[in-house]
């Protein structure tokens, strides 16, 4: 298509995506109370656990401005609308890109989407389950003479960061598998760098999690390490399959081996000599 047609298609698909997000936001607004309960359950579970352990904290979730309740409800509805409408706007992105992909690229993209979705959900659920313990550990440092009042917008940002970090972190091993499938990294390279990658995983978990408690870091780092080991095993299997296919096609050549190229040489007697000159057909003077 010409450039103008591409721009028109992009405009139409963006419009459909925005309308889907707006519709999802409006729909989520009708379930604001349920969404608020869903987000604050980890907080109240942490407070209840602290009270059961004998630590009575003067705590509260608060608003600091007159318009804060409205903007907070709008933020929650918008986030929920993005999640609810994600199949629509993700499809619009896919439908705009897919005509430019080759058949094998489409296959890898479909496989990526099929695996990325469940991994994202698993990371989201893991982050939500670890939230109460993380909040409990952080609020446990509150002195007896101090109160712990938390603004709801700040609490929402904290929860969303935790959930997003866990969800995205669970996708990293999938990118490792895709890099191996494209030939950018091999299973042997991953095995040689395994110890450093595991250390980097724990460092990433310590930096990425908004909370500073070690439990949240370990809960994030251990599944990431396990997923990386699974990705490494898949990379080894992919490399073996690729090597067998190359060997069957006669293309398996080591890095330090010469390629099997034969050059046919002519006998020296048949080679023309620079000293040989053709007979002059003209008669001698």
Tens of pLDDT along 220-235? 888 888 888 888 888 8
> Cα–Cα distance between 222 and 205 in angstroms, integer?
9
CA torsion, points 24, 30, 34, 37, in degrees to nearest 10? 90
Q: Is 61 helix (H, G, I), strand (E, B) or coil?
A: strand
Residues 197-207 have a mean pLDDT of: 85
pLDDT per residue as tens digits for the range 149-171: 989 988 888 888 888 888 888 88
pLDDT range class, residue 207, cuts 50, 70, 90: confident
Host H or E run for residue 62 = strand 58-62
Q: What are the CA-CA distances from residue 235 to residues 77, 230, 265, 267, 269 (Å)?
A: 41, 9, 43, 49, 55
**Residue 199 and residue 248 in contact, taking contact as beta carbons nearer than 8 Å:** no
Maximum separation of any 2 CA atoms in the chain, in Å: 128
Give the pLDDT confidence of 1-21 residue by residue, as tens digits: 677 888 888 899 899 999 999
State the average pLDDT over residues 233-252. Answer: 78
pLDDT bucket at 124, cuts 50 / 70 / 90: confident
With a CB cutoff of 8 Å and minimum separation 6, the contacts of 92 are 13, 14, 16, 17, 20
């Amino acid at each position: 298509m010409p450039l103008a047609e591409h721009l028109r298609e992009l405009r139409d698909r963006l419009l459909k995506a925005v309308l889907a997000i707006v519709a999802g936001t409006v729909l989520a607004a009708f379930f604001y109370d349920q969404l608020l309960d869903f987000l604050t359950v980890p907080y109240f579970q942490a407070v209840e656990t602290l009270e059961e352990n004998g630590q009575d904290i003067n705590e509260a979730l608060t608003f600091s401005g007159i318009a804060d309740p409205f903007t907070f409800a709008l933020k929650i509805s918008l986030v929920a609308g993005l999640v609810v409408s994600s199949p629509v706007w993700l499809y619009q992105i896919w439908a705009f890109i897919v005509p430019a992909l080759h058949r094998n690229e489409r296959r890898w993209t479909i496989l990526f989407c099929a695996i990325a979705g469940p991994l994202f959900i698993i990371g989201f659920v893991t982050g939500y389950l670890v939230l109460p313990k993380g909040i409990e550990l952080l609020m446990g440092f509150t002195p007896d003479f101090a109160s712990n009042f938390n603004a709801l917008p700040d609490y929402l940002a904290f929860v969303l960061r935790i959930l997003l970090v866990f969800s995205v972190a669970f996708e990293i091993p999938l990118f490792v598998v895709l890099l191996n499938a494209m030939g950018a990294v091999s299973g042997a390279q991953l095995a040689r760098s395994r110890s450093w990658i595991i250390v980097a995983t724990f460092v990433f978990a310590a930096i990425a999690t908004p909370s500073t408690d070690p439990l949240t870091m370990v809960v994030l780092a251990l599944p990431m390490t396990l997923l990386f080991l699974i990705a490494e095993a898949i990379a080894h299997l992919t490399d073996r399959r690729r090597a067998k296919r190359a060997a069957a096609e006669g293309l398996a050549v080591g890095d330090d081996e010469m390629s099997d190229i034969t050059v046919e040489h002519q006998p020296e007697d048949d080679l023309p000599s620079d000293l040989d000159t053709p007979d002059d057909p003209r008669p001698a003077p």
